[in-house]
Amino acid sequence: MQRYLVRRLFQIIPVFIGITFISFMIIRLAPGDPIVALFPPEVLNKVDRKVLAEQLGLNDPLPVQYLKMMANFFSGQLRSFQEKQTTFTLIADRLPTTLILSASAILCGLVIGIPIALISARRPYSILDTITTTGALIGVALPQFWLALVLILIFSEQLKLFPASGLRPIGSTSNNLVEMVPYLIMPVLVLTSSILPSIIRYTRSSLLDALGQDYVRTARSKGLRERRVIFAHALRNALIPVVTLIGSLLPLLLGGSVLVESIFGLPGLGRLAVRAALNRDYPVVLTLNMLSALLVLFANLLTDIVYTRLDPRISLG
Protein backbone atom coordinates (compact mmCIF):
# COMPACT_ATOMS: atom_id res chain seq x y z
CA MET A 1 0.00 0.00 0.00
CA GLN A 2 2.77 2.46 0.91
CA ARG A 3 4.64 1.84 -2.33
CA TYR A 4 1.42 2.36 -4.27
CA LEU A 5 0.70 5.65 -2.49
CA VAL A 6 4.23 6.93 -3.13
CA ARG A 7 3.97 5.97 -6.81
CA ARG A 8 0.61 7.64 -7.20
CA LEU A 9 1.79 10.82 -5.49
CA PHE A 10 4.74 11.04 -7.87
CA GLN A 11 2.34 10.53 -10.79
CA ILE A 12 0.16 13.37 -9.54
CA ILE A 13 2.99 15.94 -9.81
CA PRO A 14 3.42 16.00 -13.64
CA VAL A 15 -0.35 15.71 -14.17
CA PHE A 16 -0.93 18.66 -11.86
CA ILE A 17 1.72 20.76 -13.60
CA GLY A 18 0.19 19.99 -17.00
CA ILE A 19 -3.30 20.90 -15.80
CA THR A 20 -2.15 24.18 -14.28
CA PHE A 21 -0.26 25.20 -17.42
CA ILE A 22 -3.19 24.43 -19.73
CA SER A 23 -5.57 26.24 -17.38
CA PHE A 24 -3.30 29.28 -17.25
CA MET A 25 -3.00 29.46 -21.05
CA ILE A 26 -6.77 29.18 -21.52
CA ILE A 27 -7.37 31.91 -18.95
CA ARG A 28 -4.78 34.28 -20.40
CA LEU A 29 -5.77 33.76 -24.03
CA ALA A 30 -9.47 34.24 -23.32
CA PRO A 31 -10.98 37.58 -24.45
CA GLY A 32 -11.10 40.40 -21.91
CA ASP A 33 -8.83 42.83 -20.12
CA PRO A 34 -8.52 42.86 -16.31
CA ILE A 35 -7.47 46.51 -16.41
CA VAL A 36 -10.84 47.48 -17.91
CA ALA A 37 -12.58 45.55 -15.14
CA LEU A 38 -10.46 47.20 -12.46
CA PHE A 39 -10.91 50.84 -13.44
CA PRO A 40 -13.87 52.83 -14.77
CA PRO A 41 -13.48 54.51 -18.21
CA GLU A 42 -12.93 57.99 -16.78
CA VAL A 43 -9.98 56.75 -14.78
CA LEU A 44 -8.47 54.76 -17.65
CA ASN A 45 -8.34 57.91 -19.78
CA LYS A 46 -6.09 59.57 -17.21
CA VAL A 47 -3.64 56.77 -16.43
CA ASP A 48 -1.00 54.91 -18.37
CA ARG A 49 -2.24 51.42 -19.20
CA LYS A 50 1.32 50.16 -19.62
CA VAL A 51 2.14 51.17 -16.05
CA LEU A 52 -0.97 49.37 -14.76
CA ALA A 53 -0.14 46.28 -16.81
CA GLU A 54 3.40 46.34 -15.45
CA GLN A 55 2.11 46.54 -11.88
CA LEU A 56 -0.14 43.52 -12.49
CA GLY A 57 2.65 41.58 -14.20
CA LEU A 58 0.78 41.39 -17.51
CA ASN A 59 3.65 42.70 -19.66
CA ASP A 60 5.85 39.67 -19.12
CA PRO A 61 5.86 36.79 -21.63
CA LEU A 62 3.21 34.18 -20.87
CA PRO A 63 5.69 31.51 -19.66
CA VAL A 64 7.21 34.05 -17.26
CA GLN A 65 3.75 35.04 -16.01
CA TYR A 66 2.95 31.37 -15.43
CA LEU A 67 6.13 30.73 -13.47
CA LYS A 68 5.62 33.85 -11.34
CA MET A 69 2.02 32.94 -10.58
CA MET A 70 2.97 29.39 -9.66
CA ALA A 71 5.79 30.62 -7.41
CA ASN A 72 3.41 33.04 -5.69
CA PHE A 73 0.77 30.31 -5.42
CA PHE A 74 3.05 27.87 -3.61
CA SER A 75 4.41 30.63 -1.37
CA GLY A 76 0.89 31.79 -0.54
CA GLN A 77 1.51 35.28 -1.93
CA LEU A 78 -0.65 35.13 -5.07
CA ARG A 79 -2.98 38.13 -4.82
CA SER A 80 -6.31 38.92 -6.38
CA PHE A 81 -6.37 41.81 -8.86
CA GLN A 82 -9.72 42.99 -7.51
CA GLU A 83 -9.56 42.37 -3.76
CA LYS A 84 -5.81 42.94 -3.23
CA GLN A 85 -5.88 39.97 -0.84
CA THR A 86 -4.14 36.66 -1.24
CA THR A 87 -6.21 34.14 -3.14
CA PHE A 88 -5.87 31.68 -0.26
CA THR A 89 -7.50 34.21 2.08
CA LEU A 90 -10.42 34.69 -0.30
CA ILE A 91 -10.87 30.96 -0.71
CA ALA A 92 -10.53 30.21 3.01
CA ASP A 93 -13.37 32.66 3.74
CA ARG A 94 -15.71 30.96 1.26
CA LEU A 95 -14.60 27.33 1.38
CA PRO A 96 -16.72 26.34 4.44
CA THR A 97 -19.94 27.28 2.64
CA THR A 98 -19.14 25.16 -0.40
CA LEU A 99 -17.93 22.26 1.75
CA ILE A 100 -21.14 22.30 3.78
CA LEU A 101 -23.23 22.34 0.60
CA SER A 102 -21.28 19.54 -1.10
CA ALA A 103 -21.00 17.31 1.97
CA SER A 104 -24.69 17.74 2.78
CA ALA A 105 -25.68 16.94 -0.82
CA ILE A 106 -23.54 13.77 -0.87
CA LEU A 107 -24.84 12.65 2.53
CA CYS A 108 -28.47 13.24 1.55
CA GLY A 109 -27.91 11.53 -1.79
CA LEU A 110 -26.50 8.41 -0.12
CA VAL A 111 -29.04 8.29 2.71
CA ILE A 112 -31.98 8.65 0.31
CA GLY A 113 -30.62 6.97 -2.82
CA ILE A 114 -29.19 3.69 -1.48
CA PRO A 115 -32.40 2.57 0.35
CA ILE A 116 -34.50 3.45 -2.70
CA ALA A 117 -32.14 1.53 -4.98
CA LEU A 118 -32.14 -1.42 -2.55
CA ILE A 119 -35.94 -1.63 -2.51
CA SER A 120 -36.04 -1.25 -6.28
CA ALA A 121 -33.40 -3.96 -6.89
CA ARG A 122 -35.14 -6.49 -4.65
CA ARG A 123 -38.30 -6.15 -6.78
CA PRO A 124 -36.97 -5.63 -10.30
CA TYR A 125 -39.40 -4.62 -13.04
CA SER A 126 -42.23 -4.16 -10.54
CA ILE A 127 -44.42 -1.09 -10.48
CA LEU A 128 -42.25 0.40 -7.71
CA ASP A 129 -39.10 -0.29 -9.73
CA THR A 130 -40.63 1.33 -12.81
CA ILE A 131 -41.60 4.43 -10.82
CA THR A 132 -38.10 4.63 -9.32
CA THR A 133 -36.38 4.27 -12.69
CA THR A 134 -38.67 6.80 -14.33
CA GLY A 135 -38.17 9.24 -11.48
CA ALA A 136 -34.39 8.87 -11.74
CA LEU A 137 -34.49 9.59 -15.48
CA ILE A 138 -36.64 12.67 -14.88
CA GLY A 139 -34.20 13.81 -12.20
CA VAL A 140 -31.26 13.51 -14.60
CA ALA A 141 -33.05 15.72 -17.13
CA LEU A 142 -34.29 18.27 -14.58
CA PRO A 143 -32.42 21.60 -14.91
CA GLN A 144 -30.96 22.78 -11.61
CA PHE A 145 -31.66 26.46 -12.26
CA TRP A 146 -35.34 25.71 -12.97
CA LEU A 147 -35.72 23.66 -9.79
CA ALA A 148 -33.99 26.37 -7.75
CA LEU A 149 -36.31 29.06 -9.07
CA VAL A 150 -39.39 26.88 -8.47
CA LEU A 151 -38.33 26.22 -4.87
CA ILE A 152 -37.79 29.93 -4.29
CA LEU A 153 -41.20 30.73 -5.78
CA ILE A 154 -43.03 28.15 -3.68
CA PHE A 155 -41.22 28.06 -0.35
CA SER A 156 -39.96 31.65 -0.17
CA GLU A 157 -42.44 33.80 -2.07
CA GLN A 158 -45.68 31.92 -1.45
CA LEU A 159 -45.29 29.87 1.73
CA LYS A 160 -42.68 32.14 3.39
CA LEU A 161 -40.98 29.08 4.94
CA PHE A 162 -37.35 29.57 3.92
CA PRO A 163 -35.26 32.64 3.04
CA ALA A 164 -34.58 33.05 -0.67
CA SER A 165 -30.94 34.08 -0.38
CA GLY A 166 -28.04 34.48 2.00
CA LEU A 167 -26.36 32.15 4.48
CA ARG A 168 -27.36 33.58 7.82
CA PRO A 169 -29.70 36.26 9.27
CA ILE A 170 -28.85 39.89 8.58
CA GLY A 171 -26.44 41.19 11.20
CA SER A 172 -25.18 37.74 12.19
CA THR A 173 -21.49 36.98 11.60
CA SER A 174 -21.17 33.64 13.42
CA ASN A 175 -21.20 30.19 11.84
CA ASN A 176 -24.13 29.01 13.94
CA LEU A 177 -25.53 25.95 12.15
CA VAL A 178 -28.94 26.42 13.77
CA GLU A 179 -29.19 29.85 12.14
CA MET A 180 -27.80 28.60 8.84
CA VAL A 181 -30.01 25.52 8.37
CA PRO A 182 -33.08 27.39 7.01
CA TYR A 183 -30.83 29.11 4.44
CA LEU A 184 -29.23 25.83 3.36
CA ILE A 185 -32.30 23.61 2.94
CA MET A 186 -33.22 24.69 -0.60
CA PRO A 187 -29.65 24.87 -1.96
CA VAL A 188 -28.91 21.40 -0.57
CA LEU A 189 -32.12 20.06 -2.12
CA VAL A 190 -31.10 21.41 -5.52
CA LEU A 191 -27.57 19.96 -5.30
CA THR A 192 -28.92 16.65 -4.01
CA SER A 193 -31.33 16.44 -6.93
CA SER A 194 -28.37 16.61 -9.30
CA ILE A 195 -26.63 13.52 -7.86
CA LEU A 196 -29.53 11.48 -6.44
CA PRO A 197 -30.67 9.99 -9.80
CA SER A 198 -27.15 8.79 -10.60
CA ILE A 199 -26.74 7.20 -7.16
CA ILE A 200 -30.07 5.39 -7.51
CA ARG A 201 -29.34 4.13 -11.02
CA TYR A 202 -25.78 2.98 -10.31
CA THR A 203 -26.67 1.32 -6.99
CA ARG A 204 -29.72 -0.45 -8.45
CA SER A 205 -27.80 -1.75 -11.45
CA SER A 206 -24.88 -2.91 -9.30
CA LEU A 207 -27.20 -4.60 -6.79
CA LEU A 208 -29.06 -6.45 -9.52
CA ASP A 209 -25.76 -7.77 -10.79
CA ALA A 210 -24.57 -8.74 -7.29
CA LEU A 211 -27.81 -10.51 -6.38
CA GLY A 212 -27.35 -12.78 -9.38
CA GLN A 213 -23.83 -13.89 -8.43
CA ASP A 214 -22.92 -17.36 -7.19
CA TYR A 215 -21.72 -16.18 -3.78
CA VAL A 216 -25.18 -14.71 -3.06
CA ARG A 217 -26.90 -17.94 -4.06
CA THR A 218 -24.43 -19.85 -1.88
CA ALA A 219 -25.14 -17.58 1.09
CA ARG A 220 -28.87 -18.14 0.66
CA SER A 221 -28.42 -21.88 0.35
CA LYS A 222 -26.63 -21.89 3.72
CA GLY A 223 -29.79 -20.56 5.32
CA LEU A 224 -28.57 -17.05 6.06
CA ARG A 225 -31.24 -14.46 6.67
CA GLU A 226 -32.13 -12.38 3.64
CA ARG A 227 -31.16 -9.20 5.46
CA ARG A 228 -27.68 -10.56 6.12
CA VAL A 229 -27.33 -11.75 2.54
CA ILE A 230 -28.27 -8.30 1.24
CA PHE A 231 -26.24 -6.11 3.57
CA ALA A 232 -23.22 -8.30 4.36
CA HIS A 233 -22.66 -9.78 0.91
CA ALA A 234 -24.51 -8.15 -1.99
CA LEU A 235 -24.59 -4.49 -0.92
CA ARG A 236 -20.93 -4.34 0.11
CA ASN A 237 -19.78 -5.49 -3.31
CA ALA A 238 -22.39 -3.38 -5.07
CA LEU A 239 -21.02 -0.23 -3.46
CA ILE A 240 -17.75 -0.36 -5.43
CA PRO A 241 -19.24 1.32 -8.55
CA VAL A 242 -21.03 3.78 -6.26
CA VAL A 243 -17.70 4.75 -4.67
CA THR A 244 -16.37 5.41 -8.18
CA LEU A 245 -19.41 7.57 -8.86
CA ILE A 246 -18.97 9.59 -5.66
CA GLY A 247 -15.31 10.19 -6.50
CA SER A 248 -16.28 11.58 -9.90
CA LEU A 249 -19.12 13.65 -8.43
CA LEU A 250 -16.93 15.70 -6.09
CA PRO A 251 -15.62 18.08 -8.78
CA LEU A 252 -19.07 18.15 -10.41
CA LEU A 253 -20.55 19.35 -7.13
CA LEU A 254 -18.12 22.26 -7.14
CA GLY A 255 -19.27 23.07 -10.66
CA GLY A 256 -22.90 22.75 -9.61
CA SER A 257 -22.30 25.03 -6.65
CA VAL A 258 -21.51 27.84 -9.12
CA LEU A 259 -25.12 27.90 -10.23
CA VAL A 260 -26.66 27.17 -6.84
CA GLU A 261 -24.59 29.75 -4.97
CA SER A 262 -25.30 32.39 -7.60
CA ILE A 263 -29.07 31.84 -7.49
CA PHE A 264 -29.32 31.64 -3.71
CA GLY A 265 -26.72 34.36 -3.03
CA LEU A 266 -24.41 32.13 -0.98
CA PRO A 267 -20.83 33.32 -0.30
CA GLY A 268 -19.09 30.20 -1.57
CA LEU A 269 -16.41 29.22 -4.05
CA GLY A 270 -18.86 28.99 -6.92
CA ARG A 271 -19.95 32.59 -6.58
CA LEU A 272 -16.33 33.65 -6.17
CA ALA A 273 -15.42 31.82 -9.40
CA VAL A 274 -18.17 33.58 -11.35
CA ARG A 275 -17.13 37.01 -10.13
CA ALA A 276 -13.44 36.32 -10.78
CA ALA A 277 -14.17 35.11 -14.32
CA LEU A 278 -16.33 38.14 -15.15
CA ASN A 279 -13.68 40.52 -13.80
CA ARG A 280 -10.79 38.65 -15.48
CA ASP A 281 -9.21 38.15 -12.07
CA TYR A 282 -6.62 35.67 -13.32
CA PRO A 283 -4.98 34.80 -9.97
CA VAL A 284 -8.30 33.82 -8.37
CA VAL A 285 -9.47 31.81 -11.39
CA LEU A 286 -6.13 30.04 -11.62
CA THR A 287 -6.11 29.21 -7.90
CA LEU A 288 -9.63 27.80 -8.07
CA ASN A 289 -8.69 25.70 -11.11
CA MET A 290 -5.62 24.34 -9.35
CA LEU A 291 -7.57 23.45 -6.22
CA SER A 292 -10.22 21.73 -8.36
CA ALA A 293 -7.48 19.76 -10.13
CA LEU A 294 -6.00 18.67 -6.80
CA LEU A 295 -9.48 17.67 -5.62
CA VAL A 296 -9.99 15.46 -8.67
CA LEU A 297 -6.56 13.84 -8.37
CA PHE A 298 -6.84 13.09 -4.67
CA ALA A 299 -10.48 11.99 -5.02
CA ASN A 300 -9.33 9.35 -7.50
CA LEU A 301 -6.60 8.24 -5.09
CA LEU A 302 -9.05 8.06 -2.18
CA THR A 303 -11.47 6.07 -4.34
CA ASP A 304 -8.80 3.44 -5.00
CA ILE A 305 -8.07 3.16 -1.28
CA VAL A 306 -11.76 2.72 -0.43
CA TYR A 307 -11.92 -0.11 -3.00
CA THR A 308 -9.54 -2.18 -0.88
CA ARG A 309 -11.69 -1.66 2.22
CA LEU A 310 -14.87 -2.79 0.46
CA ASP A 311 -13.29 -5.74 -1.37
CA PRO A 312 -10.20 -7.40 0.19
CA ARG A 313 -9.55 -9.16 -3.12
CA ILE A 314 -8.48 -5.83 -4.65
CA SER A 315 -4.77 -5.20 -4.23
CA LEU A 316 -2.95 -1.91 -4.78
CA GLY A 317 0.50 -3.42 -4.85
**Which pLDDT value is given to residue 43?**
64
Residues 16 and 111 in one domain: no
Q: Alpha carbon of 285 to those of 15, 75, 172, 304: distances in Å?
A: 19, 17, 29, 29
Q: How far apart are CA 292 and CA 306, in angstroms?
A: 21
190 found inside a domain: yes
Residues 6 and 127 in one domain: no
10 found inside a domain: yes
**Which pLDDT value is given to residue 29?**
82
Residues 118 and 243 in one domain: yes
Residues 150 and 262 in one domain: yes
Residues 107 and 191 in one domain: yes
Block means of pLDDT (10 residues each) for the chain, length 317 residues? Answer: 74 84 85 75 66 79 87 88 87 86 87 88 84 84 86 90 83 73 90 86 85 80 80 77 75 72 86 85 87 80 73 62
Helix (H) / strand (E) element for 299: namely helix 282-310
Q: How far apart are CA 262 and CA 297, in angstroms?
A: 26
Sign of CA dihedral 75, 81, 85, 87: negative
Residue 86: strand, helix, or coil: strand
**Which pLDDT value is given to residue 186?**
92
Residues 148 and 248 in one domain: yes
**Which pLDDT value is given to residue 24?**
86
**What is the number of domains present in the chain?**
2
Residues 234 and 277 in one domain: yes
Q: Alpha carbon of 176 to those of 121, 189, 288: distances in Å?
A: 40, 20, 26
Q: Which of 142, 134, 159, 262 is nearest to 194 (CA)?
A: 142
Specify the pTM.
0.80
CATH number of the domain that residue 166 is part of? 1.10.3720.10
Instruction: For residue 14, give its domain range.
Output: 2-75
Are the beta carbons of 168 and 179 closer than 8 angstroms? yes
Sign of CA dihedral 61, 62, 63, 69: positive
116 found inside a domain: yes
85 found inside a domain: no
Residues 160 and 28 in one domain: no
* Residues near 267 by beta carbon (within 8 Å), at least 6 away in sequence: 93, 94, 97, 167, 261
90 found inside a domain: no
290 found inside a domain: yes
89 found inside a domain: no
115 found inside a domain: yes
